[in-house]
A and B are shown apart, each in its own frame.
Chain A
Amino acid sequence: MSLKDLERLKQQATDAQKNKTDIQIVVNMGSCSMAKNAGDTYDAIADEIKKRGLEQVEIIKTGCFGMCESEPLIEIIKKGQPKVTYGKITPDKARHIVASHIVNDQVVGELVLSVDE
């Protein structure tokens, strides 16, 4: 590994970022999340995405960012739209969010924790 290699890797990662799919679902999968059934929530989202054939959607696993009380947390990032964070998500709620927010562009207001411009 040299500096050049590192820069090349960074460039690759940056390009990959640009080519990322239009919609990303970020699921917090830290231990506290897992303790509140985030595993099943993740599976439900993956299942729903597959069932609906939503190929443009990418699901990303990440660590807990500290709002453990509101876990499991998921974030929906759609190109050109503010990031929406949902809290205390169950598998059923997750399916509902996929149907409503991802497919029909309707933010599920009562589950929203925050909206970041």
Chain B
Amino acid sequence: MNQMTNPAYQIDDNYLDQVEKIAKQHSGRAEDLVLVLHKVQALKNYLPRTALNVVAKGLNVSESHVYGVATYYSMLSTKPRGRHIIRICESAPCHVQKARELIDAMLEHLDIEIGGTTKDGRFTVETTSCLGLCAVAPVVMIDDKVYGNLDRDTLFEVLTKYN
């Protein structure tokens, strides 16, 4: 499905109302910006520009500030993403447990590059700093779940659980 025609990426009034509601709960509390962006992102798995504007108004901060924060943190995205986020770790502890081969195999399997989204809109693959699961490396995080001691087969099997 083309990203632009995917209903998940459509911005409508209903969505913007929801965003405004979230922002209102933190009205005037500029320090809650990161939390607000987390909550807004949970709606569509990314942060559309129009939503950032609504947040800026709600928290009474400048749009540039909100945009700056939204683009700073790796868990926040201003680009449309897939339904599930795969976070991979390629830090040294995972690296010495053959993480790179696993990542290459996965990217080939999903036919995407790091940072990309699969054609069916199912997955977006991102990198993360160490997930602190080095004892069971190599590790992959999908949404809020972690999977360790992976090899090609077990990872591909895990991927089938998500649609």
Contact = CB atoms under 8 A, between A and B. Distances in A.
Contacts of B132: 31
A69 B146 contact: no
Interface in A81-112: none
Contacts of B149: 35-36
Q: Is the interface of A mostly helix, strand, loop or mixed?
A: helix
B147 interface: yes
Which of A32, A34, A68, A71 has the most C-beta atoms of chain B within 10 angstroms of its own C-beta? Answer: A32
Nearest to A88: B149
Residues of A in contact with B, size category: under 10
Interface string B128-139: 000011011001
Contacts of A35: 133, 136, 139, 146-149
A31 B148 CA distance: 10
Contacts of B136: 32, 35-36, 68-69, 71
Contacts of A32: 133, 135-136, 148
A109 B139 CA distance: 30
A68 B148 CA distance: 11
A34 B132 CA distance: 13
> What 5 A-B pairs are tightest by C-beta distance, nearest first?
A68-B135, A35-B148, A35-B146, A32-B136, A35-B136
